[in-house]
Homo-oligomer: A and B are copies of this chain.
Amino acid sequence: MTTPKNPKSEEGCPAEGLLKQLSGKWKPQIFRLALESPLRFNSLLRQIQGSNRQSLSVALKELESEGLLEKTVIQLKPLHIEYVLSERGKSLVAVFRQLEGLL
């Protein structure tokens, strides 16, 4: 179910919420890596140097609740969990690329 989150919508401007969702520590990096391939927790933790479990956990949870990433459990033993770009996430790709283009 897509609950794109809107608890206290105190936005004075439409772009604000979206901007918040993409900023926040580690989020741009996570998002960027998600453009390339599905993400897995411990792997991400190793890839993003300087990051930590807690923060990544929170960031992933937020990106998920914002509807940018989707979490899937892969039935392998031991269980693997993958985070992949949702449809909404994909719709932001263009913006992201454009942002990268602008130095």
Chain A: residues with CB nearer than 8 A to chain B?
Answer: 4, 10, 12-16, 18-20, 22-23, 28-29, 32, 48-50, 91-92, 94-96, 98-100, 102-103
A15 nearest CB neighbor, chain B only: B99
Taking CB atoms, residues of chain B closer than 8 Å to A100 are 14-15
Taking CB atoms, residues of chain B closer than 8 Å to A18 are 99, 102-103
A95 nearest CB neighbor, chain B only: B98
Taking CB atoms, residues of chain B closer than 8 Å to A102 are 18, 91-92, 95
Evaluate contact between B32 and A28: CB separation under 8 angstroms. Answer: no
How far is it, in angstroms, between the C-alpha of A103 and the C-alpha of B100 when the chains are bound?
21
How far is it, in angstroms, between the C-alpha of A22 and the C-alpha of B48 when the chains are bound?
23
